[in-house]
């Protein structure tokens, strides 16, 4: 007789359904661990956010960025409202709602003090929708350390070249082929030449760029360029000022030839190897004008009118001017009209008055601080870049510049 009881029992199967098979238990534990870690992260984020909110409120009150409101319970302080904190691998930022009547510039005006109170080196304000802005914090001041120019050259006029590094560490670039002349001002020893060494070193190899111009100091142009295709288009020295005038006239003649032979239905020459972009460098231009004026008024007028023509008509003919001066006073650079032709404007250390002169009244509030800034730090106004502070790349001195030109400078065909 057989019964169910005597039937051999099936081997016991491991219970799998709730863990999802072999290795399932481990996966489950890992999931739980990840969830706990995420909860801990959120909790830490909340604590940090609460901390920052309190610090922000105190910092705003401390610098006077607040409104006092009289309520039944007494006087209360209102500060720009802290929204949410965002932590990403690239940095820390938070949102802020402006106070009634407030503007982003109110925060910018106290940027350094507010950032220091929060334990950071600096901050930048980015407008968002409506009354909200994003305050981006910087751990370290990228302007404080030297920024070496990488060993790179551009091959074409429409490749961007490096102008500098912004306060938030982002690189600022400019393609020479984009329309616009470049103005650089700064007191003696503020970094104009170093910036120019960097710009020209990056451009020296480009097949569709000619680096021409006038340099009474003979350092930026001249000797360093011997043996390159650019040298015949450069004039240096302060002995023969008439030669500078004649040379600038020659460049204007070249521009006129291009304007006359412009193909039909074209109002703008794109740089090519056959019709290269001509960068007319005018190092210490007010010095050239002053020296010419002292010698012969007519000579100075001739120089001024040549430069005015390059500035006003050059853009269409692929001519760009890079003018360097200690300050861009109208009468030192050929008049207010000449000054208005520059789309890209850089100011190294200059008196507050000169900063406002080149960058407009909005820059006035930046004046006192910038008047004492270190060499190599400049304010930039350019299309799409509204008065940003940057550090110019450092080539490594005059010797290093000469080495780069000797190595990279385009040779005559």
* Residues that bind ligand ADP in the complex, under the rule CB under 6 A: 146, 186, 188-194, 348, 375-376, 392, 394
Handedness of CA 17, 18, 24, 26 (dihedral sign): negative
Q: Specify the residue, 39 or 146, whose C-beta has the smaller distance to ligand ADP.
A: 146
Give the separation between CA 57 and CA 106, rounded to whole angstroms.
15
23 carries a ligand binding annotation: no
Structure tokens at 27: 């996966």
Q: Give min distance, CB of 189 to ligand ADP, in A.
A: 4
The residue at minimum Cβ distance from Mg ion is 193
Give the separation between CA 401 and CA 197, rounded to whole angstroms.
6
Q: How many other β-carbons are positioned within 10 Å of the β-carbon of residue 151? A: 9
Is position 193 an interface residue for Mg ion (rule: CB under 5 A)? yes
Bridge-based pairing of strands 132-138 and 160-166 is unpaired
Q: Give min distance, CB of 389 to ligand ADP, in A.
A: 13
- Please, are residues 76 and 69 in contact by the beta-carbon 8 Å criterion? yes
The residue at minimum Cβ distance from ligand ADP is 376
Cβ-proximal residues to 1 (8 Å cutoff; 6+ apart), any chain: none
Is position 196 an interface residue for Mg ion (rule: CB under 5 A)? no
- Please, are residues 125 and 103 in contact by the beta-carbon 8 Å criterion? no
Q: Give min distance, CB of 192 to ligand ADP, in A.
A: 3
- For residue 178, the number of C-alpha atoms closer than 13 Å in the C-beta half-sphere is 13
237 carries a ligand binding annotation: no
Q: Give min distance, CB of 346 to ligand ADP, in A.
A: 11
Q: Specify the residue, 79 or 373, whose C-beta has the smaller distance to ligand ADP.
A: 373
30 carries a ligand binding annotation: no
Judged by CB under 5 A, which stretch of 90-98, 193-201, 245-253, 302-310 contacts Mg ion?
Answer: 193-201
Q: How many other β-carbons are positioned within 10 Å of the β-carbon of residue 43? A: 10
DSSP 164-192: EEETTS-EEEEETTSS-EEEEE--TTSSH
Is position 190 an interface residue for Mg ion (rule: CB under 5 A)? no
Is position 92 an interface residue for Mg ion (rule: CB under 5 A)? no
- Window 210-269: residues binding Mg ion (CB under 5 A): none
Q: Specify the residue, 194 or 304, whose C-beta has the smaller distance to ligand ADP.
A: 194
Q: Give min distance, CB of 405 to Mg ion, in A.
A: 16
- Please, are residues 225 and 231 in contact by the beta-carbon 8 Å criterion? yes
Residue 93: name its binding partner from Mg ion, ligand ADP, none (Cβ under 5 to 8 Å by kind).
none
Q: Give min distance, CB of 324 to Mg ion, in A.
A: 7
Is position 93 an interface residue for Mg ion (rule: CB under 5 A)? no
Q: Specify the residue, 99 or 400, whose C-beta has the smaller distance to ligand ADP.
A: 400
Residue 191: name its binding partner from Mg ion, ligand ADP, none (Cβ under 5 to 8 Å by kind).
ligand ADP
Cβ-proximal residues to 143 (8 Å cutoff; 6+ apart), any chain: 165, 167, 374, 377, 389, 390, 391
Residue stretches of the annotated binding site for ATP: 186-193
Which residues are at the interface with Mg ion (CB under 5 A)?
193
């Amino acid at each position: 007789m057989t019964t169910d009881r005597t039937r051999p029992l099936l081997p016991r199967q491991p219970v799998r359904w709730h863990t999802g098979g072999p290795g399932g238990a481990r996966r489950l534990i890992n999931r739980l661990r990840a969830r706990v870690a995420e909860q801990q992260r959120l909790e830490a984020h909340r604590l940090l956010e609460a901390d920052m909110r309190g610090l922000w409120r105190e910092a705003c009150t401390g610098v006077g960025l607040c409104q006092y409101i009289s309520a039944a319970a007494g006087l209360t302080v209102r500060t720009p409202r802290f929204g949410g904190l965002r932590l990403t691998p690239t940095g820390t930022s938070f949102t802020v709602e402006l106070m009634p009547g407030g503007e982003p510039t109110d925060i910018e005006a106290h940027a350094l003090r507010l950032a220091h109170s929060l334990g950071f080196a600096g901050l930048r304000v980015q407008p968002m929708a409506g009354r909200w802005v994003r305050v981006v914090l910087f751990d370290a001041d990228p302007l404080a350390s030297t920024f070496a120019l990488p060993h790179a050259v551009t091959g074409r006029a429409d490749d961007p070249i490096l102008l500098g590094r912004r306060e938030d560490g982002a690189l600022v670039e400019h393609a020479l082929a984009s329309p616009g002349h470049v103005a650089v001002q700064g007191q003696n020893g503020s970094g104009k030449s170093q910036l120019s060494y960097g710009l020209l070193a990056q451009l020296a190899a480009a097949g569709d760029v000619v680096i021409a111009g006038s340099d009474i100091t003979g350092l930026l142009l001249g000797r360093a360029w011997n043996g390159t295709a650019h040298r015949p288009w450069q004039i240096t020295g302060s002995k023969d000022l008439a030669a500078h005038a004649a040379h600038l006239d020659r460049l204007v003649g070249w521009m006129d030839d291009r304007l006359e032979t412009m193909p039909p239905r074209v109002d703008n020459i794109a740089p090519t190897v056959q019709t290269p972009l001509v960068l007319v460098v005018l190092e210490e231009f007010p010095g050239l004008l002053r020296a010419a004026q002292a010698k012969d008024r007519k000579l100075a007028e001739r120089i001024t009118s040549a430069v005015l023509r390059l500035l006003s008509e050059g853009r269409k003919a692929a001519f760009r001017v890079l003018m360097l001066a200690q300050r861009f006073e109208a009468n030192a650079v050929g008049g207010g009209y000449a000054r208005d032709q520059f789309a890209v404007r850089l100011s190294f250390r200059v008196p507050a008055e000169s900063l406002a002169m080149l960058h407009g009244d909005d820059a006035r509030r930046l004046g006192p601080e910038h008047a004492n800034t270190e060499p190599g730090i400049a304010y930039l106004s350019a299309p799409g870049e509204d008065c940003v502070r940057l550090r110019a790349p450092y080539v490594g001195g005059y010797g290093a510049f000469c080495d780069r030109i000797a190595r990279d400078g385009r040779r005559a065909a």
